[in-house]
């Protein structure tokens, strides 16, 4: 089956492999060592275009600009929230598809310095169609290329954000929790992880990268052998098949029993703790019964539950669970011996839940949106 994916007009520098770059250099009579210079230069936090790689001859910079794209992102609209601690971008790609990424900063706590998390998309849209999710409601667009996935991180790494350069290596995390199901685009998502991990490029440690899945069991098993040092998060959102069939429709293909078994295999084989994500919807999946069943699923293996109060989509029939009930749910899980955290909600005023800002800007150019918001411009 042919999957919809963009065959880019020119290769992106973020996804070109070294042999291809070396061959391109050789055809121009340039020495092979320039490949390393180009890759490290293009991933420097101060580089906004090939012309900023002043260690290269001008003719070479021009040739690079003619044959490669410095970014696959054609335009971006960025909105800030939480006193500058959160920023969300809608990125427009070469074919007009739009995707989202989010930058979240966390203040220094104790000996730990400031942390930064970047949430990125793996597909334009999503076919899983979770009914509480704006991306799921908008449907599937196409698969993202590895370069389009990596370029979201580079967007925040490059001027004017310089998010990774400022935080210093090891103090940031990349999470595949934006638009799309990464394990429905596993080859390209895995290649993006390898590119992010490559010491010649951004050199982001695998342990600082998390792939989040709605429960694509074969992809989870591939992670055991192909990405054993990357973190796995599973979006459970319900502790019974009956409810999960409704909230995470892929459950009809891979039911809870199989999904949890795959999570246990990953934890046993890699020694890594698996995060079980659970969005809390008022009166639906936040009952005492669901808490007890969730505790039974999570107990006895290397797992951890992360509760996320629902950030409802406009017109949603559901709302987030109130704090008192979240506390009760947490207490049940902890009493059942399950490590549990509650994720702080970010960027409510900028529609930061997956797909919301994209939906809000539908039918408007990003330029119009920027002018209306009069907020920082970040075009690549
Ligand atoms: S919650 Fe995730 S898996 Fe479900 S529709 Fe949204 S993007 Fe897709």
Please report the pLDDT score of residue 351 as a whole number. 56
The CA distances from residue 213 to 122, 126, 176, in Å, are 11, 12, 9
CATH number assigned to the domain covering 18-67? 1.10.150
- Report domain extents, the chain: 18-67, 73-373
The segments of the chain whose pLDDT lies below 70 read: 1-8, 110-112, 165-170, 347-361, 370-380
Please report the pLDDT score of residue 8 as a whole number. 55
How far is residue 129's CA from residue 243's CA, in Å, rounded to a whole number? 15
Write the burial class of residue 71 (CB in 10 Å: 0-12 exposed, 13-18 middle, 19+ buried).
buried
Regarding the beta carbon of 277 and ligand 1, being less than 6 Å apart is answered no
Regarding the beta carbon of 135 and ligand 1, being less than 6 Å apart is answered yes
Q: Which CATH number fits domain 73-373: 3.40.1010.10, 3.20.20.70, 3.30.1330.60, 3.40.190.10?
A: 3.20.20.70
Please report the pLDDT score of residue 172 as a whole number. 84
123 Cα nearest atom in ligand 1: 7
How far is residue 331's CA from residue 92's CA, in Å, rounded to a whole number? 43
Please report the pLDDT score of residue 377 as a whole number. 39
pLDDT in tens, 264-317: 999 999 999 999 999 999 999 999 999 999 999 999 999 999 999 998 887 788
pLDDT in tens, 244-272: 999 999 999 999 999 999 999 999 999 99
Please report the pLDDT score of residue 112 as a whole number. 67
Positions annotated as catalytic residues are 100, 354
Q: 261 C-alpha vs ligand 1 centroid, how far in Å?
A: 21
Residue 106, classed as helix, strand or coil, is strand
Decide: pTM greater than 0.95.
Answer: no
Regarding the beta carbon of 180 and ligand 1, being less than 6 Å apart is answered yes
Please report the pLDDT score of residue 378 as a whole number. 39
How far is residue 109's CA from residue 200's CA, in Å, rounded to a whole number? 31
133 Cα nearest atom in ligand 1: 6
Contact 186, 199 (CB under 8 A): no
């Amino acid at each position: 089956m042919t999957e919809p994916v963009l065959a880019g007009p020119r290769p992106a520098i973020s996804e070109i492999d070294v042999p291809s770059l070396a061959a391109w250099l050789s055809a121009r009579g340039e020495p092979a060592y320039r490949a390393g210079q180009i890759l490290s230069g293009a991933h420097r936090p101060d580089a906004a275009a090939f012309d900023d790689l002043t260690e290269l001859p001008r003719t070479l910079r021009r040739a690079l600009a003619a044959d490669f794209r410095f970014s696959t992102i054609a335009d971006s609209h960025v909105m800030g929230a939480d006193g500058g601690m959160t920023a969300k971008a809608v990125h427009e790609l070469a074919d007009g598809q739009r995707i989202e990424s989010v930058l979240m900063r966390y203040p220094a706590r104790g000996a730990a310095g400031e942390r930064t998390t970047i949430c990125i998309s793996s597909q334009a849209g999503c076919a899983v169609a979770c009914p509480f999710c704006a991306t799921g409601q908008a449907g599937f667009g196409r698969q993202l290329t590895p370069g389009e996935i990596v370029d979201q991180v580079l967007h925040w790494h490059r001027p004017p954000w310089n998010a990774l350069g400022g935080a210093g290596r090891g103090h940031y995390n990349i999470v595949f929790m934006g638009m799309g199901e990464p394990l429905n685009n596993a080859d390209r998502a895995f290649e993006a992880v390898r590119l992010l991990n490559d010491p010649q490029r951004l050199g982001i440690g695998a342990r600082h990268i998390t792939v989040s899945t709605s429960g694509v069991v074969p992809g989870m098993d591939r992670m055991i052998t192909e990405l054993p040092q990357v973190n796995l998060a599973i979006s459970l959102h319900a502790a019974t098949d009956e409810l999960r069939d409704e909230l995470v429709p892929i459950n009809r293909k891979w039911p809870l029993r199989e999904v949890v078994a795959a999570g246990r295999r990953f934890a046993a084989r890699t020694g890594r703790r698996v995060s079980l994500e659970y969005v809390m919807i008022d009166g639906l999946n936040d009952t005492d019964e669901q808490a007890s069943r969730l505790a039974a699923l999570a107990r006895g293996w290397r797992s951890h539950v992360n509760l996320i109060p629902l950030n409802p989509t406009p017109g949603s029939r559901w709302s987030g669970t109130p704090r008192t009930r979240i506390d009760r749910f947490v207490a049940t899980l902890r009493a059942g011996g399950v490590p549990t955290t509650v994720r702080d909600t970010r960027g409510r005023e900028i529609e930061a839940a997956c797909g919301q800002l994209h939906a809000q800007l539908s039918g408007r150019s990003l330029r119009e949106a920027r002018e209306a918001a009069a907020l920082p411009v970040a075009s690549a």
